[in-house]
A and B are shown apart, each in its own frame.
Chain A
């Protein structure tokens, strides 16, 4: 078996098992559907419009996730830079951060719902909260981990603070910042879908909930699979971006398991 086909064998076996079980063990079940039917249901949803539309729902989730990530990452980056550069600021902020950080983002879903009602704002605010913390911490670490010798080189050459920031610190930090961004992307997607499952009537998570509630197991399975595919594709793309940045900045491609 050529190695390129090997990754597909196991999932294919599982799908075949599921197909057989759904057709012959529990036919007509409200919970399980054969993958073949799920595929058909997905095809229908692709061409549908309105609430059922794959495109609409996917777009809703992705937009909410991106807006949330944009906000959370921007704030996290700025604060992370400040705390990374000033040890005093970092130690002063320590208590507040340690108290606020452990709040699970899902705990804020009812609050966001209360303040914003349903829609984009509610979702991206929760995503922003969830992505803010890891980006803050990782940016702070990235500043600290700039090779100290490079900073000495900057001193020895007499670089101005602006030159030091733009020519030494920022490029040195870039690979780690992209690792942080990659983590942020995966968190943003997960949180967005979770918000939709819990409360928000929009996006892929909601579409899947509706399918389950209307006893359409084939559509539900299709959505579950689609969510997985979208998540995988976006994460893979971000990984490639992160690796190409690492290469470009002269670092051995950092292989990070999240």
Chain B
């Protein structure tokens, strides 16, 4: 039985600042899929994500979630920003920041602490419940943001280059953590990155976008399935022939000449 797609982009396009950022693009995301979007700067990958999250209205076409048009942000859709420093409230502790999501959802105070504790345990930050964001490293701050998104108990998580500002080691650790999380919760993820290896490593499907689309060369350049079995390993997976093949195939879509 084929399930209806969770998310569907139906000829979604947009002009910004007088330029066509995204030509009409269509694709679907099924429940539980991990989809990565890659492309050179200016290809509109972040814009696409924001349209899917309801922050932006498409110039043409429509984004459908469960068959219904997306008109604005919803609690079912969590968004992880790249700039974690500016996405956390500096005056609240880690627990306080996570609580914000629950307060927004109208969860009663009595039930909040239990859910906060659960979500902190999931991301491994239980010891830092009373710490302030400024006292945490970049990777930990990003984990707080992810924890806050999990607290929303969303069905869909959007991530906008979430590990772009972190060092390589932290990035790899978080990549594995997010993979593990998604597998255990069955969340659907739409992940934007400019890191090709990260995209292949994390996803079930990679979508490559082009910059400066035209009639002959629309925004959607390629859509490739990643049939590498899970769980994946930072060292071993990246040596597999399938990984290397995908890497070679998608390399040119990153804007290399």
Contact = CB atoms under 8 A, between A and B. Distances in A.
Interface of A: 147, 149-150, 152-160, 163, 167-168, 171-172, 248-251
Contacts of B87: 149-150, 153
Contacts of B74: 158
Given A248-B91, A250-B90, A250-B133, A158 B55 contact: no
Interface residues of B, number: 26
Contact of A167 (B73, B78, B103): B103
A154 B100 CA distance: 9
A168 B91 CA distance: 10
Interface string B56-95: 0000000000000000111101110101001101110000
Given A163-B104, A167-B100, A250-B132, A158 B73 contact: yes
Contacts of B75: 157-158
B81 A157 contact: no
A152 B91 contact: no
Contacts, number: 59
A147 B81 CA distance: 13
A157 B152 contact: yes
Max chain A CB contacts within 10 Å: which of B74, B89, B134?
Answer: B89
B101 interface: yes
Nearest to A159: B104
Interface in B77-129: 77-79, 81, 83, 86-87, 89-91, 100-101, 103-105
B104 A152 contact: no
Nearest to A153: B87
A156 B78 contact: yes
Given A153-B81, A250-B132, A158 B105 contact: yes
A157 B101 contact: yes
Contact of B73 (A156, A160, A248, A250): A156
B53 interface: yes
B96 to A, nearest CB: 10
Contacts of A160: 104
Contacts of A150: 86-87, 89
Max chain B CB contacts within 10 Å: which of A163, A250, A251?
Answer: A250
A156 B89 contact: no
Contacts of B79: 152, 156
Contact of A149 (B86, B132, B133): B86
A147 B105 CA distance: 22
A-B interface, 4 closest residue pairs, ranked by CB to CB distance from nearest: A250-B90, A157-B104, A149-B86, A249-B91
Given A152-B55, A152-B81, A251 B104 contact: no
A147 to B, nearest CB: 5
Given A163-B104, A250-B132, A250-B133, A155 B89 contact: no
A76 to B, nearest CB: 24
A247 to B, nearest CB: 10
B74 to A, nearest CB: 7
A244 to B, nearest CB: 13
Contacts of B103: 159, 163, 167
A149 B87 CA distance: 6
Given A149-B83, A152-B81, A154-B104, 20 more contacts: A147-B86, A149-B81, A150-B86, A152-B79, A153-B87, A153-B100, A155-B55, A155-B72, A155-B73, A156-B53, A157-B100, A157-B101, A157-B104, A157-B152, A158-B75, A167-B89, A171-B91, A249-B91, A250-B91, A250-B133
